[in-house]
Structure 1
Amino acid sequence: MPKAGIIFNDLKPVACRVAEELRDKLTSLGWTVAMATGIGGILGYSQPDRPICHTPIANLVPPGFDEETQFAIVLGGDGTVLSAFRQIAPCGIPLLTVNTGHMGFLTEVYLNQLSQAIEPLLVGNYEIEERAMLTVQLLRDDIVLWEALCLNEMVLHREPLTSMCHFEIEIGKHAPVDIAADGVIISTPTGSTAYSLSAGGPVVTPGVPVLQLVPICPHSLASRALVFADSEPVTIFPANPNRLVMVVDGNGGCYVLPDDRVRVQRSPYVARFIRLRSPEFFHVLREKLGWGLPHVAKPASVELP
């Protein structure tokens, strides 16, 4: 009996309703269906007196989701998509992303297109696009206190009401660099259209094997975004006396103390997106962000009487 999965945002009534309808339909067609909510991939926040507050990456897989699951369908917005991949990427399950949110930059189809998407999905008439993910770890005395799987970006920044920070950053075997800024972002190509873009980083097409380092409000004209090979791990040392805050995929994170360090590297797991048509990244940029729209000429000048 074939097996599928459904992950949904249980805070949205429409996602809950559609998840139940979809489960009943697949079951009537002879499929075994595993269900989970997106809450299972939500990252916790650690505290200075309680630094270990996380579930190891491989332990986030929901019950019933395994290598026999042919595909999963996620119902929600971009946050639910990010959460779903944190849960199922270790199993290699491909994911059809259905937008029940707002922008839905990471989603493949809108909710009103789901019924048309089911038929090609069940017969395997689709492509799979793989996106790189990151493993993010907080270390103290060589002990991993917190870790997370990341599809978009890791952000390390100062707390409110504190001064600008210094970050000593090692990329691979290159000499360390010092960056003075409000924070730094390490981004995947997928995350290049998220926080990294807002901070002035370039857009990177998904298939390019690179990462980005983007300073947030740097205190130097020499501190610009850097693109480097994703085969090189990154280690960040806080070079200031105040604690910092680390956030992964805009979702959860932990405090980083002066003697801690953050290690970021490409994950062995990938996000596998189901594409019902050939991926067209520039079309998504145009539709969601207005990139490359035709130039509109200014109206002809009119002479006043």
Structure 2
Amino acid sequence: MPKVGIIFNDIKPAACEVADLWRQKLMDLGYPVQMATGAGGLLGYSRPERPLCHASIESLVPTGFDEGMLFAVVLGGDGTVLSAFRQVAPAGIPLLTVNTGHMGFLTEAYLNQMPQAIEQVLQGNYEIEDRAMVAVKLFHEERLIWEALCLNEMVIHREPLTSMCHFEVTVGHHSPVDIAADGVIISTPTGSTAYSLSAGGPVITPGVPVTQLTPICPHSLASRGLVFPDTELVSITSANPDPLVMVVDGNAGCYVLPGDRVQTQRALYPARFIRLRPPEFFRVLREKLGWGLPHIAKPTSVELP
């Protein structure tokens, strides 16, 4: 029998309860089960007195999560999904994402649908949707000192107070450009509906092979969002004398010191989503974000009292 994995948010009682329940159920069906928590994909935040928490991209794969695993179930919200893909993407394991959180934009099913969802997957009645991830690397004096996979976005900004920063950005072989803004966001099509959307970036449908650069509160009419092929390597350096903060998918980060270089490019490993029905991105946009909802019809005439 192939193995099945369960990755759960261990700070949510509901997720812990369901994880234990389904571990037993799957084992009763004869499937060996490997358990891991979403915390394994949280790289932590560096501090000025300890600026490095370096873990290689491939080192985060949990014990027992390998090519012998048929699939893994993720129990949590979007943060747990992002963390889980950081753990299993290098092993190529597809994930069935089950929402125990709030928004659940990245999740495929709800808790009350889990029995039918598991049965459908065990019967092989599903599709796999591959979504692009980005490999983020930080270099200090051309030495790699920090790296991470991201499914949504990488953000560089100043702390503790929001103030203007200057970034030199090079996309592929093109000439460097200077961006004056509170920060910059590099996002995937999946991440176009996350922080980048809030910063004024466009929505990009999954499957389009592009990367998006979105300035945060730019101080110039010339500094606007940019979409370019995801084959391009992006390098970002800061022209500020103070350290900046880099955050990946909202749950991992490090300090970027003056002279450091941040590099992003499409990762070798995709995020493999299990889909119980053919992916329908506009339906998710409508249900989760209210996109494309019909307007209330205006009256054709007004009756005067």
Same fold, judged at TM 0.5 (above):
yes
Residue 83 of structure 2 aligns with which residue? 83
Q: Whole-Å Cα distance in 1 between the matches of residues 115 and 199 of structure 2?
A: 38
Q: Whole-Å Cα distance in 1 between the matches of residues 3 and 161 of structure 2?
A: 51
SS at match of 2:274: strand
SS at match of 1:262: strand
SS at match of 1:220: coil
1:65-103 CA distance string (max 9 Å, x none):
111101000000000000000000000000000000001
In 1, are the aligned partners of 2:192 and 2:202 still within 8 Å (CA)? yes
Q: How does 1:21-170 map to 2 (within 5 A)?
A: 21-161=21-161, 163-170=163-170
Calculate the TM-score normalised by the size of structure 1. 0.97
SS at match of 1:218: coil
SS at match of 1:268: coil
Question: 1:287 aligned to 2:291?
Answer: no
Please give the root-mean-square deviation of Cα atoms over the aligned residues, in Å: 1.2
Kindly provide the amino acid, as one letter, of the partner of residue 258 in structure 2: P
Q: Whole-Å Cα distance in 2 between the matches of residues 158 and 304 of structure 1?
A: 57
Q: Whole-Å Cα distance in 1 between the matches of residues 173 and 207 of structure 2?
A: 24
Return the offset for 1:47: 2.2
Any unmatched runs of 5+ in structure 2? none
% of aligned pairs identical?
75
1:201-260 CA distance string (max 9 Å, x none):
000000000000000000011111100000001000101112111000011201111111
In 2, are the aligned partners of 1:72 and 1:94 still within 8 Å (CA)? yes
Q: Whole-Å Cα distance in 2 between the matches of residues 159 and 52 of structure 1?
A: 17
Q: Whole-Å Cα distance in 1 between the matches of residues 198 and 268 of structure 2?
A: 28
Cα distance, 1:298–1:261 mapped onto 2, change above 3 Å? same
Kindly provide the amino acid, as one letter, of the partner of residue 187 in structure 1: S
Return the offset for 1:299: 5.0
Return the offset for 1:120: 1.3
Q: Whole-Å Cα distance in 1 between the matches of residues 281 and 162 of structure 2?
A: 39
Return the offset for 1:162: 5.8
Q: More deviation in 155-164 or 24-33?
A: 155-164
In 2, are the aligned partners of 1:51 and 1:145 still within 8 Å (CA)? no
Any unmatched runs of 5+ in structure 1? none
Q: How does 1:11-30 map to 2 (within 5 A)?
A: 11-30=11-30
